[in-house]
Structure 1
Amino acid sequence: MPIPKHIHLVTLGVADVARATAFYERLGWTKAGASQESVTFIQLSGLVLGLFGWNDLAADAGLPAEGSGFRGVALAINADSPDEVDAIIQAAVDAGASLVKAAEKVFWGGYSGYYADPDGHLWEVAHNPFFAKDAAGHLALD
């Protein structure tokens, strides 16, 4: 059976679920009713973001919880313009994110920067003039 070409849920391991939830709510994102004290779900456009305790998530996967620093993953928001990139990054910083890399013109012809949420998860905000969006705002590469 081929694996479906969908990602339905991205779960971030966080140090404090309540603190992480408050950060994402300051971004204007809303906690879904399916959330519980130990896990928060946030409905995004075509995807659900989960916030689950770092140690609990590691235990659920059967892995050790040790480790920090670069995790080899960055989540991304594709903005409609360089000005929107700047505005999104500033809103995240105002909500408690750390600026990792100020937005700038990049070698591939776009404009991007990075912030980290309070648990260090990297978020890239980019304007990619080569990526189209459909009517729902989802990337439409094909």
Structure 2
Amino acid sequence: MEQRLSLITLGVPDIDAARRFYLDGLGWTPVLDIAGQVAFIQVAPGVLLSLFDAAELAADIGDGRPAAPTVGNVTLAHNVGSQAEVDAVLADAARAGAPILKPAQRAAWGGYHGYFADPAGTPWEVAFNPGLVVDDEGAVSMAG
């Protein structure tokens, strides 16, 4: 697994309030904004911050995490270029001793992903997202 961070997802109890704070309050510009569902904000070269409903995030991980805002409602994500890379990174993580929280599978949003946990229990999502393009320098853009 490359030493990089691609996406930080914040599980928030009120997506509209989070959007108002980050987009309206701080003036941040989203890369992609689907009202009531998710907002992606580029926060550094090659790094996006995702605002996502906490209950939906807990359901996506699927390991019984509470939907209330806690440190457990933050996932770190590693985006890769193919489904095979998702499988390979999850296998590498398992070999390193990481528990697999969710085996690689098709995602409701059209991609392919799975989750593992680091030694502290922080969940990492490994994802192939056909809607995002990550270049060799880590810059993220929308496909098409």
The two structures have a TM-score, normalised by structure 1, of 0.51
Cα shift readout 1:49-89 (whole Å, capped 9, x = no counterpart): xxxxxxxxxxxxxxxxxxxx861100001110000000001
Q: Distance in 2 between matches of 1:116 and 1:90?
A: 13
Q: Distance in 1 between matches of 2:94 and 2:82?
A: 19
The one-letter code sitting in structure 2 at the alignment partner of 1:80 is G
For 1:89, the equivalent position in structure 2 comes to: 90
Cα shift readout 1:18-42 (whole Å, capped 9, x = no counterpart): xxxxxxxxxxxxxxxxxxxxxxxxx
Q: Distance in 2 between matches of 1:91 and 1:135?
A: 21
Residue ranges of structure 2 left out of the alignment (5+ in a row): 1-25, 29-41, 48-69
Q: Residue 132 of structure 1: CA displacement?
A: 1.1
Instruction: Identify, as 1 or 2, the structure richer in strand.
Output: 2
Q: Distance in 2 between matches of 1:93 and 1:3?
A: 40
The one-letter code sitting in structure 1 at the alignment partner of 2:123 is L
Q: Which has the larger radius of gyration?
A: 1
CA RMSD across the alignment: 2.8
Q: Residue 106 of structure 1: CA displacement?
A: 1.2
Q: Distance in 2 between matches of 1:82 and 1:116?
A: 19
Q: Residue 127 of structure 1: CA displacement?
A: 0.3
How many residues are matched?
Answer: 84
What is the percent sequence identity of the aligned residues? 40
What is the correspondence of 1:1-142 to structure 2 with a 5 Å cutoff? 6=43, 71-141=72-142
Q: Distance in 1 between matches of 2:90 and 2:127?
A: 10
Q: Residue 6 of structure 1: CA displacement?
A: 3.0
Change (3 A) 1:95 1:3: farther
Question: The residue matched to 2:114 in structure 1 has which SS?
Answer: strand
Q: Residue 7 of structure 1: CA displacement?
A: 5.0
Cα shift readout 1:110-132 (whole Å, capped 9, x = no counterpart): 00000001110000000000101
The one-letter code sitting in structure 2 at the alignment partner of 1:126 is A
The one-letter code sitting in structure 2 at the alignment partner of 1:6 is V
For 2:15, the equivalent position in structure 1 comes to: none
Q: Distance in 1 between matches of 2:136 and 2:118?
A: 29
Residue ranges of structure 1 left out of the alignment (5+ in a row): 9-44, 47-68
Q: Residue 138 of structure 1: CA displacement?
A: 2.9
Question: The residue matched to 2:43 in structure 1 has which SS?
Answer: coil
